Structure 1
């Protein structure tokens, strides 16, 4: 039994021993994170499984901290709190940044609370609607402190300034304890490290890996003079000088010039850029430089206009809201009662239609890169939403490295964070306005899940891993999904001073800015700004999964069906240009536009050729269906031979697009997910998978030992370790290992169905 009492802070330990928890577990009833403090508490609370199943309610107390809302059951002790799934949130916890709205309920009235709301009546129930489609239901007795705790929760989940976000307090406390996870947040033991694509070396390695000839890494945007939303490091043609790039940025929206992102083994390149500025006119000597920048290392270019067929961010937000309303139920019978019209209502959300459109567009461009060896430039107005989505999907389809865990994380760093996707605005972290909110990144994760569900053997990760990323976007305990661009992210690698003696100045927005440091830097986020000290303190990275999950749960991230060895990076292959006898559908230095299902030759496209821009398209090329044959499996790219697990992923037909039930319906017991869904199946078979993986390594070592030279070296010149014990497995050949793995894969596939 927990006893209520006053809050007591533990004295800071001065013996150098690292302490992860700040407050007394016996008093609070739950282990708190570094920097986490309890703001309010209500006793005599019951948590209900649903509004109609009050018999299954659990008695306990409700806590509100500066990070989360915690329900502590009365009969649960600290040692019994489940922590195998996550080390941050318990089964009955929800992060404040994951709360969508707070509703106070009585028998006669219902009120949705905002940050400035107050309760003039005693609520009997509390409904907490979460952004992950979860619904938490609490009941209060008459003597509970419901009138205090409910407005406190509503105020805490709607921060008035960036400084109220818990991530800054968390990073400060972690830096004081010198936690190594803040220093090596992007490293994994025995695994190829995640590339953050914030340095020259990461981009140079990517150029070498893909064999991209004719491109170089430039620091022309090091001070964000070319574009405030782009990364410091850009990949541009080798023959273009930095001075020419500075002159060319005025011809593109927000200075987002054409830049290299990826190269196909066949020799075609994938570029990204913003829309042309029609009110600019280049000098005669600057026209050639502009076109050199646009065409890059190629002479033929296809511009893919993403605005014609794909949904706009407001349309994505509207569809997501409809999907959320469809998958969130207050009563257990609501799901069963809506069964007759559920599928038609799902179709009416247009969410699956938008998933299909994005996958279809990525398949079209993938076929252009693979079958026709045409360089494609993705064009969007601001180049920060759909361009991120389509470019990432193309690389997932064509590059086997992007279908590994580390490669996928590097892909998100390169195409989303490095390209300046507005995470803060699109997720509306500070709730300043709803007009910019749009879950474009969640739409991308859904598209990846469609590919994973159709081709599970080609992916190293599972849907459990995708759901972990999905939920991390709402957690806001990391700096990964917090900012709008690298410029904001770079300025927030400093620590706000916690010294109460530092003088502060009040501003009109009602909060304080510290001053007194010799060198401070202004940090600007939507909704306010504040200043940081010079002392460096990086925010945690979301890719350090040990901060969120235990080792038992991280095992579920890796698929037992994946055929490649995840310990080594998968290379994209040496660049080989298309054969000379390949049909040439474009003249020299020509440009086509991919729009509305066809390749078209525009009469006037480049605004510097003519001040009066005309988008009239006068000449049709071959139809896209006949040119690309997108309904047929894509051919293997020219280059090194790949095993079937590394072939490009063919497109998914429209009827095969389905709802991601494991994510959207995981909180609905009546959802009817067989045997608990994929996560439950992986949990039951994870131990067997680990044992087979260990046995495979032993068999490979035994095979190397049998084929070793007399000097004790294997075929790579490495010394073979001696046998550790007589319990090592008997000698076995690699064919037996392969047979065993195939048998287990078939067994796991049948179990997952």
Structure 2
């Protein structure tokens, strides 16, 4: 496909550009295969270069034969207004932009055509090699690097090299992958000073004929030393974790009551036989389960519901509706801010991350974090925990390595999650696929940065840069 087939009008004169906090521009609109450009051809005014992939939704209003107005609502949260003169030109601009913003083939996107005009100082593809990043850990006798996934057949969303306990063979990892959602078996994310390990994975699945996965139990046992205890932080609600269970061979394994202010106060009530305290065995099941006390005796499961991926985009939409409403008074605006739920999502995510950091640092206990697939809230929690505990992750190179390790190599589906953002109408988006998970993570980092500014090598401008490039970039 040639871009020329989609561009019905490459140039349009006498347009007026309106941008927030910028002077209006009277000039020429040019449309290329990847950019929308508005220029006054004056050195005193900046040009607008907008990637088509940054446009989330195009709102239009035609004004008879005189032309019309476009509101380009962008994934970086900007709203850009353009007045176009002439009904025919206006219609062609709309058709062209609609076509160029909906190109599905990723090889036609700008990064595959971009040629940098500067000297590349470092090859980003090899800058953060797992062997180099985990070199101090691999020198010991507890962990090794495995290439079981070198052809990406065991787990398509994992990298070719992962860090696993030395006592686990590659054949064991294959069995565990079949037991965990999306093949995401437990892997090492971070090893804290003193030896406590932070792992992440997908949720466990019930197997046919209720067969246990002894390899999975063995892996988690290898993480712990003799008589050590660990915590499993399940970011799903307890009801969701148990919703897939069947109706046969119900075994009561108890209900865990946790005092959130003290991890030591954990009470196991094995006489509780209400339905929500059951673990089920029997028929093959769709969906997932959880690690039961019977087979994981040294691990304590804590449910900390932060896995709200399906609701995050709606929450962000309500937040931006409130931000863009300039008619609201202070009281009404604060009420809308609270009701949108975005700040509550930040609070719950930070609370869970601090809990994990407390387990690793103060308790000296290893932690396994998982949600459903281990691609969203799990990555938020493991990343934020490292930022809290590890000063290196608060440097520029450190957070770059963290994002590469936890988010890119960790398998977060950026292309899917960021295909649509908050300005896309609800009828045109799928909340199960589209979610601002990474944006929530960056906002959480910003909250920590706001309180401990001197502990960070970078500023909030760097976080904004990461946000903008995660949705639309030349890289």
Which category of TM-score, normalised to the shorter sequence, fits these structures? Answer: 0.7 to 0.9
Q: Which moved more, 1:382-391 or 1:272-281?
A: 272-281
Structure 2 gaps, min length 5: 1-6, 238-304
Equivalent residues in 2 for 1:457-606 (5 A)?
457-478=454-475
Aligned position for 1:386? 377
Conservation of the 8 A alpha-carbon contact between 1:44 and 1:143: no
Other structure's SS at 1:261 match:
strand
Conservation of the 8 A alpha-carbon contact between 1:43 and 1:145: no
In structure 2, the CA distance between the partners of 1:81 and 1:475, relative to structure 1 (3 Å rule), is: farther
Conservation of the 8 A alpha-carbon contact between 2:55 and 2:101: yes
Q: CA deviation at 1:283?
A: 7.7
In structure 2, the CA distance between the partners of 1:476 and 1:212, relative to structure 1 (3 Å rule), is: farther
Aligned position for 1:137? 81
TM norm structure 1: 0.49
In structure 2, the CA distance between the partners of 1:338 and 1:66, relative to structure 1 (3 Å rule), is: farther
Other structure's SS at 1:125 match:
strand
**Aligned to 2:51, which of 80, 83, 95?**
95
Aligned position for 1:293? 219
Structure 1 gaps, min length 5: 1-36, 83-89, 109-120, 188-193, 329-333, 479-753
Over residues 677-730 of structure 1, what are the superposed CA-to-partner deviations in whole Å (9 max), with x where a residue is unaligned?
Answer: xxxxxxxxxxxxxxxxxxxxxxxxxxxxxxxxxxxxxxxxxxxxxxxxxxxxxx
Aligned position for 2:233? 304
Aligned position for 2:412? 421
**Aligned to 1:168, which of 92, 112, 132?**
112
**Aligned to 2:100, which of 156, 160, 175?**
156
In structure 2, the CA distance between the partners of 1:311 and 1:347, relative to structure 1 (3 Å rule), is: farther
Over residues 469-510 of structure 1, what are the superposed CA-to-partner deviations in whole Å (9 max), with x where a residue is unaligned?
Answer: 0111122322xxxxxxxxxxxxxxxxxxxxxxxxxxxxxxxx
**Aligned to 2:195, which of 267, 273, 293?**
267
Other structure's SS at 1:145 match:
helix
Other structure's SS at 1:271 match:
strand
Q: CA deviation at 1:140?
A: 2.7
**Aligned to 1:327, which of 323, 326, 331?**
323
In structure 2, the CA distance between the partners of 1:224 and 1:106, relative to structure 1 (3 Å rule), is: closer
Structure-2 separation of matches of 1:296 and 1:195? 30
Structure-1 separation of matches of 2:9 and 2:474? 18
Equivalent residues in 2 for 1:597-616 (5 A)?
none
- In the alignment, does 2:142 pair up with 1:214? yes
Conservation of the 8 A alpha-carbon contact between 2:235 and 2:378: yes
Structure-2 separation of matches of 1:140 and 1:128? 13
Conservation of the 8 A alpha-carbon contact between 2:67 and 2:87: no
Q: CA deviation at 1:246?
A: 1.9
Conservation of the 8 A alpha-carbon contact between 1:43 and 1:144: no
Structure-2 separation of matches of 1:441 and 1:213? 34
Structure-2 separation of matches of 1:48 and 1:272? 46
**Number of matched pairs:** 393
Aligned position for 1:395? 386
Cα root mean square deviation, aligned: 3.0
Aligned position for 1:125? 69
Conservation of the 8 A alpha-carbon contact between 1:295 and 1:301: no
Aligned position for 1:574? none
**Aligned to 1:186, which of 114, 124, 137?**
124
Conservation of the 8 A alpha-carbon contact between 1:212 and 1:263: no
Q: Which has the larger radius of gyration?
A: 1
Aligned position for 1:617? none
Equivalent residues in 2 for 1:624-663 (5 A)?
none
Structure-2 separation of matches of 1:414 and 1:186? 12
Structure-2 separation of matches of 1:343 and 1:167? 40
- In the alignment, does 2:18 pair up with 1:48? yes
Equivalent residues in 2 for 1:685-700 (5 A)?
none
TM norm structure 2: 0.76
Structure-2 separation of matches of 1:98 and 1:350? 25
Q: CA deviation at 1:292?
A: 2.4
Structure-1 separation of matches of 2:159 and 2:67? 49
Aligned position for 1:410? 401
Aligned position for 2:246? none
Conservation of the 8 A alpha-carbon contact between 2:181 and 2:202: yes
Structure-2 separation of matches of 1:221 and 1:144? 55
Aligned position for 1:202? 132
Conservation of the 8 A alpha-carbon contact between 2:62 and 2:87: no
Structure-1 separation of matches of 2:167 and 2:210? 19
In structure 2, the CA distance between the partners of 1:212 and 1:324, relative to structure 1 (3 Å rule), is: farther
